Structure 1
Amino acid sequence: MTAPTLPLAGPLPDWMADGACTSGPARLLPWIEEPGVASPLQVAAMARVCAGCPVRLACGVEARSMTSGFWAGRQRGTAELVDDTPAAAGLVGVPVQDTLPGLDLVGAA
């Protein structure tokens, strides 16, 4: 059984070769299926693979142009996940903490 070809125009991006989904048993999961095709068990397995993936950030950038499939830990093509902008996620106006309190004191003596 071979892994499906990802629906990208042209050659695959270099970063994709380092994806956790491209080797071992993970490559056989239904990464590019339409929503509802993968079982809940498969979706959970894909989420676990993505959680430790070294290229998850690059994958998330690529995912913005995808309308289906499982990218960067999220299922694309479902109404609640297609628009993942800060506004759609309810994050507009939420303060962002760039460091943990006291972290700037580490090493200060």
Structure 2
Amino acid sequence: MKIEVDDSNRMRFPDLELERGKKLLEKLPMRLSKLEDTQALTKYLANMALPGERWLLVRDGDLWAVSYTERGLRFSPAFFWNIEDAIHFFLFKLTGTIVNVDLRE
């Protein structure tokens, strides 16, 4: 799925938001290792039970996107302005429950 954004309506975020996001994503695998039912986790990607099925958390333009991927195709992307919201939604999709994880430690 390709989403095109008209640059005239695009709100730019400073590099500070991207740097903050990178720092939080570095902490994510450590936090997820404490949860059950997570497999083969990398910074942005969690493999599910079936081969080729994954939940993906990526920076998509000025937004953070959480989407389901199967055999290389992205489905049902959800977009977030805030990295913390994206991470919590990512965790919710992985576990099926609301996970309270403090990422600020």
Structure showing the higher helix proportion among its residues:
1
* TM-score range normalised by the length of the shorter chain: under 0.3
For the pair shown, the structure with the greater C-alpha radius of gyration is 1
User: TM-score, normalised on structure 2?
Assistant: 0.27
User: TM-score, normalised on structure 1?
Assistant: 0.26
